[in-house]
Structure 1
Amino acid sequence: MAKRARIIVVGCSLFGCAVAQALSAAGHDVIVVDMQEDALDGLGPDFDGETLTGDGKSALVLEECGVRRATHLVAATGDDASNLLIAELASEIFGVPHVLPLVDDDALADILDDMGIAPICPHRICEDEFFRLTGLTRKEADL
């Protein structure tokens, strides 16, 4: 089966590992970057992608990952500011078409939205899913 996308995942957080494993299992070309080599062990033995120990905030490290050929980049470190920086580098400097930073801070999520970068904001996703599952409605101001 041909690989469908080239995806860089920066950060082996729980989310980063889960996304990388799922994308690899789906047949995509995945490379995962983390500063701590032992964090990469979280990918498990079934991970069929590449790994690189390094700082994903570094343009040189992103270049080493083949960022110019990447179709997607997921910034999934445990630090919102780092994810914002990585997203900006990937989107603005390297022109990665699909950049998805993980952020918990609503203000940073709004900044990314304004930049045309779609943030992954777990509490927003969970809140949306809560209202979908319960059928309850939000206040008008929240819509």
Structure 2
Amino acid sequence: MARTARVIVIGCGSFGAALAASLAAAGHEVTAVDMREDAFDQLGDDFDGETVTGDGSSALVLEECGVKRATHVVAATGHDATNLLIAELASEIYGVRHVLPLVDDDAFVEILEDLGTEPICPHRICEKEFYRLTGLRLEGGDEQ
């Protein structure tokens, strides 16, 4: 039997809520965090994970969520700098091995990659998927 992950998803916008709901449906232990309690409405009625209302960039809130036992932390707030801070706290202070911040700004993406953290960058993912779907080649002739 596959080991169940303990995932903290911070930010219940469209991406964070969909991810948290999907992970919980797959049988993983999920804690969804958002500063707005009404954000949890996006999780759906069958979400069986935990919800925590609070600031996910706060060490106290992270500890309340069980960050010391987490296998994964996904920082999916609407703010790149906040996601970067959460990623740093989770990986450097709490030692979470799999930290995935959602980032749009290419400068932050490069900083995270230099630190050894793999960011989730929607426009890069969409660009790669575009080239995959169309069969067009990227500059330099390399296909993705």
Shared fold (TM-score, shorter chain, > 0.5): yes
CA RMSD of aligned residues (A): 1.7
Gaps of 5+ in 1: none
Aligned residue in 1 for 2:138? 138
In structure 2, do the counterparts of structure 1 residues 142 and 100 end up closer, same or farther at CA, with 3 Å as the change threshold?
farther
Aligned residue in 2 for 1:9? 9
1:74 and 2:35 aligned: no
Q: Identity rate of aligned residues, in percent? A: 71
What secondary structure sits across from 1:19 in the alignment? helix
Aligned residue in 1 for 2:106? 106
Number of matched pairs? 143
Structure 2 distance, partners of 1:86, 1:93, is: 10
Q: Is the 8 A contact 1:3 1:27 kept in 2?
A: no
Aligned residue in 2 for 1:37? 37
Aligned residue in 2 for 1:90? 90
**How does the TM-score come out when normalised to structure 2?**
0.95
Gaps of 5+ in 2: none
Q: Is the 8 A contact 1:3 1:29 kept in 2?
A: no
1:71-112 per-position Cα deviation (integer Å, ceiling 9, x unaligned) = 000000011110000000001110101000001111101111
Aligned residue in 2 for 1:124? 124
In structure 2, do the counterparts of structure 1 residues 142 and 61 end up closer, same or farther at CA, with 3 Å as the change threshold?
farther
Aligned residue in 1 for 2:55? 55
**How does the TM-score come out when normalised to structure 1?**
0.95
Structure 1 distance, partners of 2:106, 2:33, is: 25
What secondary structure sits across from 2:15 in the alignment? helix
